[in-house]
Chains A and B, each alone.
Chain A
């Protein structure tokens, strides 16, 4: 799917607003949107909302062989996924150019700044190290994906606990969480990305641009910084030149914003730790905002399954009967050839053939129909006549579905010829249903009496629908 392009009027409006120092969501130029950090039930799972932008990060770990060049260091993998959920422009599977750029920036922000201590992830030098994998899923793209993604990734890394390991001689034991408490990763510092958008050759600057602002900006700058005022990454894209003063001003803004964000992450982490130690419920299910009209919660509900067992028995009782009746005797015709249901007409090329199977399955209807035939043979029952009429009218509707209705008529006459002298045995609904009898009777039904046969066509039509 393609991204819906921004209309010219919208673009002009946005730019005019920015020129007069206003933003469409009512923020000031240096304002950040609201940040909401939620931790999942699992360790290392974190969802961050930055205004409407939403990112989900999940950390996982695996014991792998280290790289030859660095035998005593663990590995950190960052994988930023631009899920098609986030924007119609994002394709599933392959990473777009934009995705690669964001992924690399996130890598520079977290991995190259050595935010996570790699040497503590070593289990046995040169043999086994921990590989930490961070999957960052963008769920909704409303600008500043990197700001949101970096918060989610670093919060998830700080929240994550890896299994404890003991090494005795040559043997390595990885303890289960029940066995020994998992250990946290050693996170040295928390770098956070801050995005700036520039307009008109850097004349106007916006912090934390939304998606619409991003689509009209001339260039942007991403600055990664930690709470100790250490710059981790600076990147500038877009065709414009900036003055030294502007970059310094951006770093001043970043210092303030990063301090706020780091505070928020730490608060969220301590809240979660408190909730966990007190044994309170945590996870997304608990963090649903219950007061909105778009949310609803239903308490656990008991389901009475006693009746279901009876129902099941009922189904089986009903289902069993035809299976038993299907026990047809087969006769050896020739070496390697067996025949079943001998004496019945050839049912090949007859469109009704598949209905017979259906009839065997549900004999109730079958019996019904047979009764109907009886009634019509008498030719006295009004009810039957009325039924007859309705079924004819229904057939016309049904015929619309079949292009081969003429062929059907042909086959019916053929049957009549074949079965010319066949006398229908008396049908007793209470009698045991023998397959061969069923086959024969249904043949008769389809050949001798027009309307019920047509009724079958109607049923078939339904089925084919």
Chain B
């Protein structure tokens, strides 16, 4: 069933649909291979008094797993997405308001966190939230023979020595977020980072083509 047998050195099929939900201010689904995440953005809207920050907007992220109740794992994912998105959102533009991002797992076939971040970014774009730059996340891993695999599927990730997800900004391609599971040498870490950085360009290109497609005259 796995559609991507060639992804040893590449990204899986990327797909997106924006503005698919009528109620939120912005929404998007982002798919990478079979992995699919839906994200919705509300904001800038009113904020609960205890969460209000007087000089900038409060960024809230809610991550919903597909089955079962959200636990610690989901909370940590929420935190990662929140910190990544808050870095790029110009929060000072909307003081004392909230920007809520809701992400819903639709299908997990590997690289779910990266997919969540990319979906959130596309939803933020759709909502027209002011951002200083875009953000794209790429996951990569080292398999049991220490070969580098970009955008791994869940099957590939099962026998990974280490699994890393990096998020980059679109202006300088600098690291915004880095998470890591497992262990590797410094050399390997740097090469994982460097190849994710190269791959992130493809995601930014995808953002651009989808924006162009939406805004084109004909």
Q: Which residues of A contact B (CB under 8 A)?
A: 1-2, 40-42, 45, 47, 52, 54, 56, 58-60, 81, 83-88, 92, 133, 135, 137, 139-142, 211, 279, 281-285, 288-289, 292-305, 307-309, 311-313, 315-316
Contact = CB atoms under 8 A, between A and B. Distances in A.
Contacts of B191: 305, 308-309, 311-313
A331 to B, nearest CB: 30
Given A1-B45, A285-B34, 16 more contacts: A42-B107, A140-B23, A140-B24, A284-B31, A288-B29, A296-B206, A298-B15, A302-B10, A303-B198, A303-B199, A304-B9, A307-B198, A312-B193, A312-B194, A313-B187, A315-B190
Nearest to B18: A294
Contact of B187 (A285, A297, A316): A316
A296 B28 CA distance: 11
Contact of A83 (B13, B102, B150): B102
A92 B11 CA distance: 33
B1 A41 contact: yes
20 contacts: A41-B1, A45-B107, A56-B104, A59-B67, A60-B67, A83-B64, A85-B24, A137-B104, A140-B24, A141-B23, A284-B36, A285-B13, A292-B17, A293-B214, A296-B15, A296-B209, A296-B210, A303-B9, A305-B195, A312-B193
Given A294-B20, A298-B206, A303 B195 contact: yes
A297 B14 contact: yes
Contacts of B87: none
B9 A305 contact: yes
Nearest to B101: A85
Interface of B: 1, 3-4, 6-7, 9-24, 27, 29, 31, 33-34, 36, 38, 40, 42, 45-46, 62, 64, 66-68, 98, 100, 102, 104, 106-107, 109, 148, 150, 186-187, 190-191, 193-195, 197-199, 202, 205-206, 209-210, 213-214, 216
Contacts of A137: 64, 66, 104
A57 B88 CA distance: 33
Given A85-B40, A303-B11, A305-B9, A289 B17 contact: yes
A326 B19 CA distance: 54
A300 B67 contact: no
Contacts of B199: 303
Given A83-B104, A283-B34, A283-B107, A294 B195 contact: no
Nearest to B5: A300
A280 to B, nearest CB: 10
Contacts of B186: 316
A140 B13 contact: no
Contacts of B194: 307-309, 311-312, 315
Contacts of A1: 42, 45-46, 98, 100
Contacts of A86: 23
B88 to A, nearest CB: 15
A87 B42 CA distance: 9
Nearest to B218: A293
Contacts of A305: 9, 148, 150, 191, 195, 198
A13 B34 CA distance: 45
Given A60-B68, A296-B16, A309-B191, A301 B202 contact: yes
A285 B31 contact: yes
Contacts of B16: 295-297
B31 A288 contact: yes
Given A300-B10, A303-B195, A309-B191, A288 B15 contact: yes
A84 B100 contact: yes
A140 B22 contact: yes
A284 B107 contact: yes
A13 to B, nearest CB: 19
A294 B214 contact: yes
Contacts of A283: 34, 36, 107
Contacts of B214: 293-294
A88 B45 contact: yes
A-B pairs, top 9 by smallest CB distance, nearest first, are A312-B190, A308-B194, A312-B191, A308-B195, A296-B210, A85-B102, A302-B10, A311-B194, A305-B195
A140 B23 CA distance: 6
Nearest to B191: A312
Nearest to A309: B191
Contacts of B10: 300-303
Nearest to B14: A298
Contact of B106 (A141, A211, A284, A311): A284
A141 B7 CA distance: 37
A87 B17 contact: no
Nearest to A2: B46
Contacts of B202: 298, 301, 303
Given A58-B67, A303-B199, A296 B190 contact: no
Nearest to B22: A52
A305 B1 CA distance: 26
B13 to A, nearest CB: 5
Contacts of B18: 294-295
B107 A41 contact: yes
Contacts of B198: 303-305, 307-308
A141 B21 CA distance: 9
Contacts of A303: 9-11, 150, 195, 198-199, 202
Given A58-B67, A307-B198, A308-B198, A40 B15 contact: no
A133 B67 CA distance: 8
A300 B23 contact: no
Nearest to A1: B45
B216 to A, nearest CB: 7
Contacts of A139: 21, 38, 40, 104
